[in-house]
Amino acid sequence: MNVNSRAFQYQTRPLLWCGFGGLLLLMAVVGLSALSFMRQIQVRQEKIREDYVERDSTLEKIRSDIYISGTYVRDYLLDNSDQAAAPHRAEFFETRARIEANIRDYERLIGAGQRAMFDRFRKEALDYLNTVSPAMGWNAAERRDRGAAFIDRELLPRRSQAVDFTDRMHALIERQLEARSAEVGDLFSTFRTRLVLLLAFTLGTGLVLAGLSLRRILALESEGEIRFQEILGAQNELKRLSAELLSAQENERRRISRELHDEVGQVLSAIMLGLGNLRLAVENNNREEALNQLQLVQDMTQRNAGVVRNISLLLRPTMLDDLGLLPALKWLAREVSRTSGIQVDVATEPPADEVIEELPEEHRTCVYRVVQEALHNAARHSGAHQIRVYLQQSGGELLRVAIQDDGKGFQPSGNAGMGILGMGERILHLGGTFNVDSQPGKGTIVSFALPVPRQPAPLQATRPLRTA
């Protein structure tokens, strides 16, 4: 029995070593194959992304330069002074050079399916530039006589056509990106099929060698699939949140750009025209007209300074850093009351005053931004007559803030927009809780609670100097 047992042992060991060694080798092949395929997919996706970003960036530069070149041409044609108009002319030709250089760069990036569209786009852009370039040599008299008509009949229509072609090119890029992404998806599907086949063979071999471990292997495989689905869901959620964040950023940039263009740009153009009229009056020794034009320019300059100050204060009021959170909230309440006609009050309890003054920078910014968003939402959508902002300390560890209005209300479960989501994200990031309580016809209460840090932030030591 001992001899037979030892012989069986000697026969079994090589079989086990070969079997498990082959199984491990097969698993290594599966792992290396998976790593190789994942690397290929990653490289391909990165190449697609880089190609798309580079083409989109170049196309956006062309679009922006085409648009701003029209602004330079307009400013040049509307300026009555050759000396004052010279910088616009120089800026236009610099912009033209950039457009032509970017078009050449973009030609290097296009694919076979984009050649026809690119040729039409290049022709349209160059036709636009060649059409408006001769006007940059007009003197002051020609600009006064022909400038307005040229802007309406030639400049604006041709610029719009060129910009529209950039939008078509961008749509074509997106379609090609989707097609190439689909190819990557097919490659991933092929990889997944091959991986499943290799895993099936590995599991079959493992079943012969280690049948007792089959249940555990299947359980691990099921758990891995669940984790994989969770990762996919998390990735999809991150993509959705990223897209919403980009959209919100772009909307904010568009709003600021519109404010600058509509307010500051128009006033600056009016100042330029006023200065031109002032110069003519001085040259004609018309003192009364010169004083009148000077007063108009001074009034417009003061108005422009006020607009720029209001925009900067809305972006981030300096008093939030200089005076503290509570004065900034009261200033915000006055501004909302002034611009919307809604009575906005800010009320606090004495312990809350001390807590607010000791909040770290991140907490003060969070409270201010959430209150700002809530007030603006109420002013735009609620139709309220009165809004009350209330701050109190709860239990010594929480700062509670509530913004209540007497407006028309809404259903929070079905109307949570980016503003509400952004407020909630800010609060949750600092470990707080956020709630929106509203019903149609019964107003809205936006409330949140932030944990108060036990130790003041290091920068708080300079607080008395800043408030002094």
142-158 pLDDT, tens per residue? Answer: 888 888 888 888 888 88
| Distance of alpha carbon 112 from alpha carbon 179, whole angstroms | 14
pLDDT above 70: residue 415: no
pLDDT at 76: 82
Residue 212: per-residue pLDDT? 53
Q: For the segment 24-71, what is each residue's pLDDT rounded down to a tens digit?
A: 777 777 777 777 777 777 777 777 777 778 878 888 888 888 888 888
Give the pLDDT score at 181: 74
Comparison of pLDDT for 294 and 466, the residue scoring more = 294
pLDDT of residue 141: 83
Topology agreement, domain 12-209 and domain 319-467: no
What value does the mean pLDDT take over residues 263-282? 77
pLDDT, greater one: 92 or 201: 92
User: Between residues 163 and 447, which one has the greater pLDDT?
Assistant: 447
pLDDT, residue 18, reads 66
How much is the pLDDT for 180?
72
Closest CA to 362 of 421, 318, 427, 313: 427
Residue whose token pair is 């900067």: 312
CB 67 within 8 A of CB 86: no
Interval 399-422 mean pLDDT: 78
Q: Could you tell me the pLDDT band of residue 211, with boundaries at 50, 70 and 90?
A: low
- Whether pLDDT at 250 is above 80: no
Which tokens hold the place of 58? 């170049």
Query: Which value, in Å, is the radius of gyration of the alpha carbons in the chain?
Result: 34
Look up the CATH number of domain 319-467.
Answer: 3.30.565.10
Q: What is the mean pLDDT of residues 80-107?
A: 84
- Choice between 315 and 401, residue whose per-residue pLDDT is larger: 401
Please report which confidence band the pLDDT of residue 14 belongs to, taking 50, 70 and 90 as the band edges: low
How far apart are alpha carbons 177 and 125 in whole angstroms?
24
Q: Are strands 433-438 and 398-405 parallel, antiparallel or unpaired?
A: unpaired
Encode pLDDT of 295-354 as tens digits. Answer: 888 877 887 776 776 666 666 666 676 777 888 888 888 888 888 888 999 888 776 666
Q: Residues near 162 by Cβ (< 8 Å), separated by ≥ 6?
A: 66, 124, 125, 128
Q: What is the mean pLDDT of residues 261-265?
A: 67
The pLDDT tens digits of the residues spanning 362-381 come to 888 888 888 888 888 888 88
Domain chopping of the chain, boundaries: 12-209, 319-467
CB 41 within 8 A of CB 188: yes
Say which residues have a Cβ less than 8 Å from residue 398's Cβ, sequence separation at least 6.
449, 450, 451, 452
- Looking at every residue in the chain, the average pLDDT score rounds to 76
- Amino acid residing at 192: R
Mean pLDDT throughout 77-102? 84
Name the 3-class secondary structure at 252. Answer: helix
Question: Which of 386 and 394 is assigned the larger pLDDT?
Answer: 386
User: pLDDT band for position 260 (50/70/90)?
Assistant: low
Q: What are the residues whose beta carbons fall under 8 Å from the beta carbon of 15, sequence distance 6 or more?
A: none
Alpha helices in 211-346 (DSSP H): 214-259, 266-283, 287-315, 319-322, 325-340
CATH numeric code, 12-209: 1.20.120.1730
**HEC readout, 372-433:** HHHHHHHHHHHCCCEEEEEEEEECCCEEEEEEEECCCCCCCCCCCCHHHHHHHHHHHHCCCE
Quote the tokens at residue 408: 């028309």
Instruction: Check pLDDT > 80 for residue 125.
Output: yes
